Structure 1
Amino acid sequence: MSTKAKIATIGQYVDQEVLLEGWLWNKRSSGKIAFLNIRDGSGFIQGVVAKEDVPEELFALAKGLSQETSIRVTGKVRAEERSPIGYELTVTGIEVVSRTEDYPITPKEHGVDFLLDHRHLWIRSPRQRAILKIRAEVIKGMRDFFDKNGFTQVDPPILTPSSAEGTTNMFQTEYVNGENAYLSQSGQLYMEAAAMALGKVYSFGPTFRAEKSKTRKHMNEFWMIEPEMAYVEHAENMQIQEALVKHTIKHVLDNCPQELKAIQRDTAPLERVVNEKFPIITYAEAVKILQEKGHDFPYGEDFGAPHETELTNHFDLPVFVEKWPANIKAFYMQPDPEDNSVILGADLLAPEGYGEIVGGSQRIHDYELMKERYAEHGFDESYNWYLELRQYGSVPHSGFGIGLERTIAWICGIDHIRETIMIPRTLYRLYP
């Protein structure tokens, strides 16, 4: 009996007969040889069926297979330098499990809307599969970093009574008792409570924003990693962010060489990120750089995509922009003791035009100052529990949020964030 194998580890079986269970991605044939591109979820391999070496009915079956027909294939593994994975399969047997007819995604060019309508099938393609594999390794690398550095994962609620930052772009529903409830935009406030119990914590989960944006960097459902750390202040917070990003990229470089090659990602910029120190500039310095480069950009506004790209092109590395004007940042951010018009916080901008991937800050820990912020913003009693964190055993603490899909888009070097998640939820798309 043939040994059951996976394509990802096929190199262990050179000169042995194996059984692969998968699907026919595509095929081509000359008069006497059929080349089957077989996938099994772990990878792709070419199977070669030579007419002179197999029974006539097997060769006819191979030539008649249709795209995405599910099959069990037996054959002998052999080394092949011309193969992208270094191996091929000399096919000796084929069993059709389920025949597919008129598969909608053919090798021809398709429009994006068509592919998104068939996203449940599109993810079978080599490029989309590679991106999803890289996503899995990004998640694994991040968890590995936190686990090795003494963080505890905590899961904040997804249904909340209010917004984390007082915004209105929220999905609203009715709770079981008739109260208004909202899908979480961020778990940060709850993670601050967890940090007071466990020291260093992180959450990893979905977040939802109902903003009507259709840029290549926005989705209405996405995933966030949100660490919070007791007794960590602004400078150390940035050090931890840099270490996380470098660890994650190195993890992907080490574990996804085939996937990065499949999507044609130039890894040289990523390797530079791993090996060089991230520059840190103030918001005021960033504004000066933009103005010197010809941008009509006034102090006190948030950056748009062209401004973020200009800043990262200036350094050709991820760059921290710190000490933003307090009036354009969230209420909970700690003022700079040397200039209370700015906050002890920073955004990390990714190079190559990908912009902000991390936003973080030291949080206000002073009870009286937080009460002032509450009065300024007119917060209702749904925020009382958060104020109590400053009333009972408050300490200096910091945290940040890193957007998973934006980080993946940068690492993969892809144009649109929608390819970084299995089924994207964007402004006009709730199908499939």
Structure 2
Amino acid sequence: MGEGARARLRGWVYRKRDVGGKIFIVLRDSEGILQVVIDRSQAPREAVAEAERADIEASVEAAGVLARDPRAPGGVELRAHHFKVYGESRNFPIKGGEGVDYLLDVRHLWVRSRRLTAVWRIRHTVLKALREYLERNGWWEVSPPILTQSAVEGGATLFEVNFFGRKAYLSQSAQFYLEALIYSLEKVWSLTPSFRAERSRTRRHLYEYWHLEVEQAWAGMEDLMRIGEEMVAYTVDAVLRERLEELSLLKRDTERLEPARKPGYPRITYDEALEILRRKGVDLKWGDDLGADEERLLTEEFETPFYVTHFPKQIKSFYMKTDRSRPDVVLGFDLLAPEGYGEVIGGSEREDDYEVLYARIVEEGLNPEDYKWYLDLRRYGSVPHAGFGLGVDRLVMWIAGLDHIRDSIPFPRFRDRIYP
């Protein structure tokens, strides 16, 4: 709407000033902010009285005429002839300058902040773009359970649940269920919460996170790496096209994202990663896992996301297929985001031979009976297949340039405490 147009707005009081016979209220809603001016000399007495009692975060309605004013946020203001308070807000507990722990304690209120609202919009676009990519490329969305009887990654990271007197676990991954579904739909994906009971508490970890997973029949490691980079590039491009205002509010350097808009990301092997780290003074032994510090150092070498492939078998899961030309490594891959953000995708070609998979389960000290149904998939019409999991919260964290993963999701879950 242009200057002189009549408008009616509903939202919340973001800022308020009472100066020189006028009340200036910056109104916040899902679209952004707009300054509302209530002139005591022109507005009805009832509107002035309502504006006077409107405190920060009160819900209000305003109606009037739009006018240009370069001093107003965005250069436009609403000169109101109507103003009404719907929900009072006395002494809103967030004043500015509070610490992280306090803001987490009042997370249910802090989610209203302009900064976090910008993140939620970016997150929306990330999820929309991921779904668009998959739908446009012939993938089927499915709905796997989040209660399971078997571990995908490892028993030490499981949350145990009493399921009517039987032991069950919150899912670490939908992978096994997706593997079952490729025998009917061939290319399947899901978006579910996953749970990891790891003791680590870092800026990149959540105990409940959103996990987008894909699994494809008749596919290998190279096929899924191509899909992963295309999906991430498609998503970065969508955010840069649709969410520049939000990225600017977050002070994100969008030039750092530009190189990631096109697929064709670099690839290095685990062995090459060790060589890079040794040049940087980190002396990892072959077979050591790459932690957050090592990933951060590797990302300094690249301007785009990049793949690390062919990890030692001993540090990866039993279901990953070994390289037949080099049985001590698996056909696995991680996609690391630059700028120190680290892994956003982890995947592999899956072992499709019954005898080999059975032997790997035993070798890992697991009970084959616990994986009977998973082994059945290799007994009845097994096919080469591969898949990966993408951490949505980690992806949002990188694209939005956030310092901590807790701000990539509305209500983060940490060890020892739940907010709210």
- Tell me which interval the TM-score lies in, with the shorter structure as reference length: over 0.9
User: Hey, what's the Cα distance between the residues in 2 that align with 1:46 and 1:101?
Assistant: 21
CA 1:231/1:84 → structure 2, altered by over 3 Å: closer, same or farther?
A: farther
Residue matched to 1:410: 398
1:145-167: CA deviation from partner (whole Å, max 9, x where unpaired): 11111111111111101111233
Q: How far off is 1:15 after superposition? A: 2.6
1:13-67: CA deviation from partner (whole Å, max 9, x where unpaired): 5432111111111212322332211112232212123344324553454244211
The amino acid across from 1:330 in the alignment is S
Superposed CA RMSD = 1.6
CA 1:215/1:16 → structure 2, altered by over 3 Å: closer, same or farther?
A: same
Residue matched to 1:354: 341
1:275-323: CA deviation from partner (whole Å, max 9, x where unpaired): 3631000000000011012112222111122211111111222110000
Question: How is 1:93-112 mapped onto 2 (pairs within 5 angstroms)?
Answer: 93-106=82-95, 108-112=96-100
Structure 2 residue 407 is the aligned partner of structure 1 residue 425: no
The amino acid across from 2:244 in the alignment is P
Task: Return the match for 1:331 from 314, 318, 339.
Answer: 318
Residue matched to 1:3: none
Structure 2 residue 35 is the aligned partner of structure 1 residue 46: yes
Query: What is the TM-score normalised by the length of structure 1?
Result: 0.93
Q: Which moved more, 1:238-247 or 1:48-57?
A: 48-57
The amino acid across from 1:216 in the alignment is R
Residue matched to 2:232: 245
User: Hey, what's the Cα distance between the residues in 2 that align with 1:84 and 1:289?
Assistant: 48
Q: How far off is 1:431 after superposition? A: 3.2
User: Hey, what's the Cα distance between the residues in 1 that align with 2:26 and 2:214?
Assistant: 43
User: Hey, what's the Cα distance between the residues in 2 that align with 1:137 and 1:91?
Assistant: 34
Q: How far off is 1:326 after superposition? A: 0.7
SS of residue in 2 equivalent to 1:314: coil
CA 1:57/1:157 → structure 2, altered by over 3 Å: closer, same or farther?
A: closer
Structure 2 residue 351 is the aligned partner of structure 1 residue 343: no
Residue matched to 2:200: 213
Structure 2 residue 129 is the aligned partner of structure 1 residue 141: yes
1:339-369: CA deviation from partner (whole Å, max 9, x where unpaired): 1111111101101110111001110111221
Query: Is the 8 Å Cα contact of residues 34 and 77 (structure 2) preserved in structure 1?
Result: yes
Residue matched to 1:9: none
Structure 2 residue 20 is the aligned partner of structure 1 residue 25: no
CA 1:380/1:75 → structure 2, altered by over 3 Å: closer, same or farther?
A: same
Structure 2 residue 252 is the aligned partner of structure 1 residue 271: no
Q: How far off is 1:83 after superposition? A: 5.4
User: Hey, what's the Cα distance between the residues in 2 that align with 1:62 and 1:157?
Assistant: 50
Structure 2 residue 125 is the aligned partner of structure 1 residue 170: no
Structure 1 gaps, min length 5: 1-11
CA 1:164/1:85 → structure 2, altered by over 3 Å: closer, same or farther?
A: farther
Percent identity between the aligned chains? Answer: 43
SS of residue in 1 equivalent to 2:150: coil
User: Hey, what's the Cα distance between the residues in 1 that align with 2:113 and 2:247?
Assistant: 14
The amino acid across from 2:240 in the alignment is L
Residue matched to 2:388: 400
User: Hey, what's the Cα distance between the residues in 2 that align with 1:86 and 1:343?
Assistant: 58
SS of residue in 2 equivalent to 1:53: coil
CA 1:146/1:52 → structure 2, altered by over 3 Å: closer, same or farther?
A: same
CA 1:238/1:102 → structure 2, altered by over 3 Å: closer, same or farther?
A: same
Q: Which moved more, 1:181-190 or 1:68-77?
A: 68-77
Structure 2 residue 74 is the aligned partner of structure 1 residue 74: no
Q: Which moved more, 1:138-147 or 1:310-319?
A: 310-319
SS of residue in 2 equivalent to 1:315: coil
Query: Is the 8 Å Cα contact of residues 47 and 84 (structure 2) preserved in structure 1?
Result: no
Residue matched to 1:235: 222
User: Hey, what's the Cα distance between the residues in 1 that align with 2:6 and 2:21?
Assistant: 22
Task: Return the match for 1:386 from 364, 374, 396.
Answer: 374
Residue matched to 1:122: 110
CA 1:137/1:83 → structure 2, altered by over 3 Å: closer, same or farther?
A: farther
Residue matched to 1:7: none
